[in-house]
Amino acid sequence: MRRCAVLVLMLGWLVPLASLHADAPVAGTTAAPSAMVARITLDGPIGPAAAEYFDDAAQRAVADGAVAIMLQLDTPGGLSESMRQIIGRMLALPVPVMVYVAPGGARAASAGTYILYAGQIAAMAPATHLGAATPVSLGGATPLPLPVPKAEPAKAGSAAPPAPDEAGGSAESNKVLNDAIAYIRSLAQLRGRNAAWAEQAVRGAATLTASEAAQQHVIDFVASDVADLLAKADGRVVRVGERQLTLQLKGATVRDYAPGARTRFLGIITNPTIAYLLLLGGIFGLALEAMHPGAMLPGIVGAISLLVGLYALQLLPVNYAGLALMALGIGLLVAEAVNPTVGAFGVGGLVAFVIGSVMLMKTGVPGYAVNLGVIGGIAVGFAALLGTVVWLVFRARRAPPFGGEAAMVEETGRLLEPVTADGESWAMLHGERWRVRCAVELPAGAAVRVVSRQGLLLRVEPAAAVAAV
């Protein structure tokens, strides 16, 4: 019994010691894995696809344990709604976001400036620039600039405010501009950056290079590459929600988060030119199916193209007056093809189609307008088709009749039997036997020409006599 008790006591001491020994680090190994920074790259216009890509990639990065997100940015601008969606996700993330305008030659223009201001860390590569953040309404360009109150002096170190617009501007455009100014100023105040210059970027379309932005405290620093960015950001204190965090990025690894298949597909179809072509392909596919029932393929392809195109259009800043003009133009062109009117419907339809195409997404937002070369090419194709239809109509009107009673007039043939004056006989015309009546006497085999038709009886005369006239 004593031996059993001693063994139990010894085991009770050895098990905890063994577990402690197992938890101790082995010489030559790392106690904890290095930190991971997720890199998300936005290269191109800010739109629905970019917003969905950032949202999805940011969620995956947080789930993978990223200590920070590096948003590498190169954009000419984009849609306000998509920009606000990205910024909203940035502000809600539990990890800091470092916005980095790179590589050299990149820009954070228009919507990109707002995104840069929203990041906990704002950095730019050499030879990059930002600014020109004035919003553009769907109906046309916002009047520039909005009159600056006389009581507001120009801020030191910032661009001088432009001269007031004598005409002022519409109340709605002023509201849009004031809202954008308040939005970017709130982001600047949240991150402790130059709010005065931010206002000038919106009000007067001011721009800065990377070094100028660092000097005016618009960004935190200029970084030559990703390694330089992580080194300069390491140790900085940032605010994430209500928390203060110190960035520990020394030795961190960078993992790229590429867009998924859905995001890539969305990026393709929300290209305005692709959406425009899908819409046209769908309409003409269904039109071909209606003209040739049972063909199946045009109808199936047309229906799919039309539905995908309409889905893309509801994500884009569409001018519905332009869409209506396009529909009217296509309807008139189809009417011209079905019931030719010597070009009246066709010309009107072509004009309506071209104007509607130009108006469809001509919003002034960079990257969100239908390519004018595509519109011009389609318009030229329609014009050629219309010209061909009109030419065929005029040609058909000048062509001799090929059916009915009128088609037999002026036709020639030969008598199968002799005919007496004002008598009847038989003649061969077009390989057919016809009963004929002639005013003069003619022998068998004589050449005759038809001068009129009365039912199944043809009145003929000598072909030679007519030729001599």
Percent of the chain residues topping a pLDDT of 90: 37
pLDDT of residue 83: 93
What does the pLDDT look like over 172-192, one tens digit per residue? 778 888 999 999 999 999 999
As a whole number of Å, the end-to-end CA separation of the chain is 150
Q: Which residue has the higher pLDDT, 408 or 205?
A: 205
**Tokens at 225, concatenated:** 């590459």
* pLDDT class of 469 with cuts at 50, 70, 90: very low
Mean of pLDDT over the chain: 80
Mean pLDDT of 315-324: 82
| Residue 141 reports pLDDT greater than 60 | no
Say yes or no to pLDDT of 200 above 60.
Answer: yes
pLDDT tens per residue across span 436-455: 999 898 998 899 988 888 88
pLDDT tens digits for range 336-353: 777 766 667 878 888 888
415 or 363: which carries more pLDDT confidence?
415
Mean pLDDT of the 118-138 span? 87
Quick check: 211 pLDDT over 90?
A: yes
Residue bearing tokens 């906990």: 120
**Mean pLDDT, residues 226-232:** 94
Identify the residue with better confidence: 11 or 424: 424
User: What is residue 458's three-state secondary structure?
Assistant: strand
Answer whether residue 26 shows pLDDT above 50. Answer: no
Lowest mean per-residue pLDDT among 17-26, 92-101, 375-384, 424-433: 17-26
Q: What is the pLDDT of residues 65-115, one digit of tens each?
A: 999 999 999 999 888 889 999 999 999 999 999 999 999 999 999 999 999
* DSSP string of 244-263, one letter each residue: EEE---TT-EEEE----HHH
- Using pLDDT thresholds of 50, 70 and 90, give the confidence band for residue 159: very low
The CATH topology of domain 36-137+177-259 is: 2-enoyl-CoA Hydratase; Chain A, domain 1 (3.90.226)
411-462 folds as OB fold (Dihydrolipoamide Acetyltransferase, E2P) (2.40.50)
Instruction: Assess whether pLDDT exceeds 70 at residue 148.
Output: no
Predicted pLDDT of residue 322: 85
Cis omega (within 30 of 0) on the bond before 145? yes
Delimit the domains of the chain by residue range: 36-137+177-259, 262-398, 411-462
Q: pLDDT tens digit string along 352-372?
A: 888 888 888 756 666 677 878
Each residue's pLDDT tens digit, 10-24: 444 444 434 434 343
pLDDT on residue 8? 42
What pLDDT does 154 receive? 43
Please give the model's pTM, rounded to 2 decimal places.
0.67
HSE of 295, CA atoms in CB hemisphere, 13 A:
15
Residues with Cβ within 8 Å of residue 405, at least 6 apart in sequence: 453
Longest dimension (CA), the chain: 156
Do 323 and 357 contact (CB within 8 A), yes or no?
no
Confidence label for 118 from pLDDT (cuts 50, 70 and 90): very high
Nearest in space to 318 (alpha carbons), one of 283, 369, 281: 369
Type and span of the H or E element at 292: none
Using a pLDDT cut of 70, give the percent of the chain over it.
Answer: 80
Question: Above 50 in pLDDT, residue 164?
Answer: no
Section 50-72 average pLDDT: 94
pLDDT of 137 higher than 50: yes
Decide: 402 and 413 in contact? Cβ < 8 Å: no
Report the b/e string of 426-462 with b at 16+ CB within 10 A.
ebebeeeebebebeeebeeebbbbbeebeeeebebbb
